[in-house]
Amino acid sequence: MLQPYLNHSLYNSICYLGCREQYSEGWPVLATPPHGTEGPGYHFILRAHAYAVDPAVARHLVAHVIRSGINESADKLIRADLFPMHQAGLFAYDDPAESTISHLHSQEMLFRRNDDLSR
């Protein structure tokens, strides 16, 4: 993480923590975070890697999955027209080369990961 995310500033909203383009290419950090689109009226969170979800949105996400099932990847499932999103700064970003989870490669893991498997 670039800086700790200590306070969720809005109720019933997903806080987008950042993306690598904002860090490396200087994309602006705006109140409305970058998002993807797939046709008119279908906007979704861009690469759902770095975000914080408050309990009210988490409840709606679970209800949406129970009602509709998982029929899209996680980022396309989190639709901007159903789940409010905001960005309050650049806190973290997606880096395919490494993880921000400090114990990811620890010997103390409770489950085996499949990172070394080929497709």
Sequential DSSP letters for 21-54: HHHHS-----SS--EEESSTT-EEESSTTSEEE-
* pLDDT confidence of residue 59: 92
* pLDDT confidence of residue 6: 84
Distance between CA atoms of residues 84 and 93, nearest Å: 20
Distance between CA atoms of residues 42 and 44, nearest Å: 7
* pLDDT confidence of residue 74: 63
* Mean pLDDT of each 10-residue bin along the chain, 119 residues long: 83 88 88 82 74 89 85 70 87 70 49 54
